[in-house]
A and B are shown apart, each in its own frame.
Chain A
């Protein structure tokens, strides 16, 4: 074992890694926004009394949660064009990640919705709000506060899942790291730096979410 660590080659391409990281963050941000929308709608479906809403929502969540995300990524990039849906690499990946996280977020939101006391809805009805108004201005804000911790961990695992975009050659962090790895042969150094970037970003996201939680905590 005569391997000496030499990071200079990795530092020379460090801006590539940073660009990759920025793209990873962008992918995660877009996917979580779309995923939250999908998850919210699905969650209302999951708690609905109507079977026609509840069953399809449940089917979507079960199907997506039990399929490996790599299969979904490859499916939407390579198989959807056969159905006439042609998307670019980035679009198809963000779409997949949004649909994937939507299923997880639906479960998260469902738990949060159930935890909102029914009295809140009744109070809304009493002051003459419509069902939609109650949902938007009372239930969703209360629910969001309930689910912040799990929302945070979903966001972090979503950010880590952006690494799968490397499989369809989206130039995010993992893809760039692999490229540098192949070009410079500084194998160990590249992966050390790339993992440290991931770990640092995840810790930062976690700290950020904790700060938001503290800000929004219910005063006791």
Chain B
């Protein structure tokens, strides 16, 4: 038996690759679900009628005040108790999507509120209905405003996906821990996992900068 790191890495390549795949699918699904939810949250925060606005504000503040790990643990343990039987993967993704929705919600609200009032008034003046105003005037401008921060949120979600290892989802970090418990090479393998996450997030960060440059209002 050989104990050098590269050999062990080769032996463990399939579990680690599978873990990486699971990490990516956790991140992607929570970003997609969270963004869809978050856009509604943002719209409700900006244009909602009073009671709805308060309700959604309460939701965002509560979610943002709770650690993601608590959301993940609560979602996993609570849903089972009330008879909704989700696996750890689904429960975890649900928790991350809820977390993501609160971030995206604030992002969308900030972007919509930063659009000068004159834009809405101008749209009204040329006779656009509100849905039209939103689709042609407010939406595109808000999108440009929110896109760079949204890319950062995506990187945040990749990092948060590691928390699902605590409820037993076999993503990259849990797979790494399994490999370590077999090989005792904690230094090397934690470093390797950290490196993989770094590469993914650095890529996303660079992409975010690129998007920021591309979408910047020419001045």
Contact = CB atoms under 8 A, between A and B. Distances in A.
B166 interface: yes
Contacts of B81: 3, 187-188
Given A78-B180, A161-B67, A195-B66, A71 B187 contact: no
Interface of A: 1, 3, 62-63, 65-72, 74-75, 78-79, 82-83, 160-164, 166-167, 174, 177-178, 181, 187-188, 191, 194-195, 198-200, 202-203
Interface in B63-93: 64-71, 73-74, 77-78, 80-83
B201 A66 contact: yes
Given A68-B162, A70-B166, A167-B166, 5 more contacts: A78-B180, A78-B186, A164-B67, A164-B69, A199-B61
A161 B70 CA distance: 10
B210 to A, nearest CB: 16
Nearest to B23: A68
B78 A191 contact: yes
Given A69-B159, A191-B77, A1 B166 contact: no
B70 A71 contact: no
Contact of B67 (A1, A82, A198): A198
Q: Which of A65, A181, A187 has the most CB of B within 10 A?
A: A187
A79 B179 CA distance: 13
Interface string B176-219: 01001000001100110110011001100100000000000000
Contacts of A161: 67
Contacts of B186: 75, 78-79, 82
A187 B78 contact: yes
A1 B83 CA distance: 6
Interface residues of B, number: 41
Contact of A70 (B70, B78, B83, B163): B163
B78 A71 contact: no
B165 interface: yes
B3 interface: no
A111 to B, nearest CB: 15
A62 B67 contact: no
Given A3-B82, A187-B78, A198-B65, A178 B190 contact: no
B142 interface: no
Given A69-B159, A74-B190, A198 B197 contact: no
B16 interface: no
Given A68-B159, A68-B173, A195 B194 contact: no
Contacts of B77: 181, 187, 191
B62 interface: yes
B69 A174 contact: yes
A74 B83 contact: no
B165 A70 contact: yes
A191 B74 contact: yes
